[in-house]
Structure 1
Amino acid sequence: MMAKKKIHSNQLAEAIRMKEANLPLLKNGKIKGFKLETLNTLCIALDCQPGDLLEFKSEET
């Protein structure tokens, strides 16, 4: 989504008030959870819907 909107990590981090070092963790799904407020802010910054950013993966094997 960042590439689609032509926004760099440092610009997004500033827009959502997050440390740029934490963005890769968020982008790669290496976090256990996040606040809905963060999702809302991301959607506003990227002008998108939550479904554009999230993907469900079952933990069942």
Structure 2
Amino acid sequence: MAIDLPHLIKKTCLKIALFAGCAMDFIYPGHGKDIVTLLKKTNIQVDFPVNQTCCGLPAMMIFL
């Protein structure tokens, strides 16, 4: 028996905190917008904490 996940999610009110970091802001800005759009379509409330800081990914990418 398959689980109808989209139907189950729409019945449940979920809330998440989205950590975007500077990579999402500067490297993949469209991805962040798409994620929020998708989550809202599935009835998931998105909280974007304003005190987010850089995770260090850009600095690590220099040494890869």
Same fold (TM over 0.5): no
Q: Which has the higher contact order (CA 8 A, sep 6+)?
A: 2
Greater fraction of residues in strand? 2
| TM-score, normalised via structure 1 length | 0.32
Give the structure with the higher percent helix: 1
Give 1 or 2 for the bigger CA radius of gyration: 2
For normalisation by structure 2, the TM-score amounts to 0.31
